[in-house]
Amino acid sequence: MPPLVSLRGHLRAALLAALLAGLASAAWAQGYALVVVQPGDAIGAIAQRYGIGTDTLLEYNGLHGHLIRPGDVLQVPLQEAKGGLVEPAPDPPAGFRRHTLASGETLSSVTQRYGITLKALVGANPDLSSLDRLPVGVELLIPPGEGLLVTLEYGVDLIELIVAYGADPVAVARANQIRSPLDLRPGMLLFLPGVEPTGALERLATVRELENTYVWPLHGRLTSYFGRRNLGMGTAAFHRGLDIAAPTGTPIVAARSGTVTFAGWSNRGYGNLVKIRHAGGAETWYAHASRILVRVGQGVRQGDTIALVGSTGISTGPHLHLELHVGGRAIDPLTELR
């Protein structure tokens, strides 16, 4: 076997030949299937094969006419596809494991379980839709270390790909067990050790910023605001949240996605109380409920029903007492609710 470092010298020409051989005609990508046009294929026939409209296929691929050539790669949107044969997702390189997200699990708990960083997890799953709102049952790839997992697209030169990402050719060859150009095929997953998933991290940071807003958990009449309030007879107290009046049994929803950290009776006057911890450590508290519908450790999404309005604990009537805690102290929820 030739030394790995010598691969750089002859991979370019051999890779092109391997790619043109059409070793794969379709591969999965998130949201769409990649289909390589074969001799005799027509845009209408491909659209019919996958049960979508020709105009949809043209628009999705940015095509302005029906002319396609063998070797072209088309993206077939899976959300609209109703038929056709698509190959299963390609296997990751050796050393990767798979993890199916269970109820109550978060990306933080997954990284702790496998002893990896969040950056490594994102690098192995750069198409993640969210850092905080992944559905139960989603499959995550667990990498052997930090790096970036990419798909070798049809017609892409591996050497140019390695140079574009600033990766080490020898490390790439070792990580993917590339011993000859014949080990390469379109659609395969390649791990680029040491390459930071900058684009994915920036995108997910933007998504998290949009997700990390608080919605009203209940619509009703505000009967008490955050801050000092006069109790009469020369006395005053500090009210640490908002009181929202509503009929008993009205659903209360989570103001933001997170994990339930408390769900039960509070002896501090809150009555039936639910606490939800959110990404970054902030918490929302929902007090005086007539009924609690969640349990400790449960992951909830923004808008999920967590309890019903009541008047338990120290309460003068059915309402929700909402508190928002940031950095261990209560702040005015009105500054964050949208």
User: Does residue 230 carry a pLDDT above 60?
Assistant: no
Task: Pinpoint the residues of the chain covered by CATH 3.10.350.10.
Answer: 1-13+89-211, 25-86
pLDDT band with cut points at 50, 70 and 90 for residue 32? low
Out of 96-100, 227-231, 246-250, pick the least confident: 227-231
Cα dist from 258 to 243, 255, 309, 313, whole Å: 22, 9, 20, 25
Q: pTM (2 decimals)?
A: 0.47
Cα dist from 220 to 287, 309, 336, whole Å: 15, 11, 17
State the Cα–Cα distance between residues 8 and 6, nearest whole angstrom.
Answer: 5
State the Cα–Cα distance between residues 144 and 116, nearest whole angstrom.
Answer: 8
Q: How does pLDDT run across 282-337, given as a tens digit for each residue?
A: 999 999 999 999 999 998 888 899 999 999 998 889 999 999 998 888 888 888 88
What's the CATH class of domain 1-13+89-211? alpha beta
Helix (H) and strand (E) counts for the chain?
Answer: 8, 20
Structure tokens at 2: 């030739």
Residues 6+ away with beta carbon under 8 Å from 107: 118, 121, 131, 132, 134
pLDDT band with cut points at 50, 70 and 90 for residue 11? very low
Q: How does pLDDT run across 186-217, given as a tens digit for each residue?
A: 888 999 999 999 999 988 887 876 777 888 99
State the Cα–Cα distance between residues 312 and 322, nearest whole angstrom.
Answer: 14
Measuring CA to CA, which residue among 102, 106, 161, 150 is closest to residue 127? 150
Is pLDDT larger for residue 184 or for residue 99?
99
Give the model's pLDDT for residue 5. 43
Mean pLDDT of 252-274: 92
Q: What is the CATH number of domain 25-86?
A: 3.10.350.10
Give the model's pLDDT for residue 21. 37
Q: Are 231 and 201 in contact (CB under 8 A)?
A: no
Mean pLDDT of 172-194: 90
pLDDT band with cut points at 50, 70 and 90 for residue 258? confident
Out of 105-119, 178-192, 206-220, pick the least confident: 206-220
User: Does residue 234 carry a pLDDT above 50?
Assistant: no
Domain at 221-335: CATH architecture: Distorted Sandwich (2.70)
Give the model's pLDDT for residue 85. 46
Q: How does pLDDT run across 123-146, given as a tens digit for each residue?
A: 999 988 888 778 788 899 999 999
Task: Pinpoint the residues of the chain covered by CATH 2.70.70.10.
Answer: 221-335
User: Does residue 24 carry a pLDDT above 90?
Assistant: no
- CB atoms closer than 10 angstroms to residue 329: 8
User: Does residue 277 carry a pLDDT above 50?
Assistant: yes
Cα dist from 75 to 64, 86, 280, 333, whole Å: 15, 12, 37, 45
Structure tokens at 198: 């900058």
Structure tokens at 27: 């591969």
SS3 63: coil
Is pLDDT larger for residue 49 or for residue 105?
105
In the chain, % of residues over pLDDT 70 = 83
Q: Are 31 and 60 in contact (CB under 8 A)?
A: no
In the chain, % of residues over pLDDT 90 = 39
